[in-house]
Amino acid sequence: MEPNQIVVCRCEEVTLQELQETANSYQCSSRELKLRTRAGMGYCGGRTCRNLIDMVVKEVTGIAPGDAVPLSYQPPVRPVTFDLLGGKK
């Protein structure tokens, strides 16, 4: 596997190459990169890839994570009970 084909966001299957190309094309911040590629918008809410997205943006555009709107973790919309998940009522 080539280094650029490494999957950075496992939830949305976004590769390092996609992130680098998008950041280079649009000179975007971490938040804009997230919106353009969906990296960090999966099930984990960016818990596993947020730092990597920030590092790609800093490397490609020179925009540090603190210079723009930072990415944040997203909690679930509302808690779900195990009874509801298991279908027991």
Whichever domain contains 7, its CATH number is 1.10.10
Helices (H), 38-86: 50-61, 82-86
Q: Which residues of the chain have pLDDT under 50?
A: none
Question: Within 13 Å of residue 87, how many CA atoms lie on the same side as its CB?
Answer: 0
The reported pLDDT for the residue numbered 44 is 84
Between CA 65 and CA 70 the distance in angstroms is 6
Between CA 57 and CA 31 the distance in angstroms is 10
The reported pLDDT for the residue numbered 45 is 84
The reported pLDDT for the residue numbered 43 is 85
The reported pLDDT for the residue numbered 75 is 63
Q: What does each C-alpha distance from 71 to 3, 4, 50, 82, 87 come to in angstroms?
A: 24, 23, 7, 30, 35
Domain span at residue 46 reads 1-89
Q: What is the pLDDT of residues 67-84, one digit of tens each?
A: 766 666 666 567 777 777
| Helix 30-37 / helix 50-61 crossing angle, nearest 10 deg | 110
The reported pLDDT for the residue numbered 82 is 77
Q: How many domains does the chain have?
A: 1
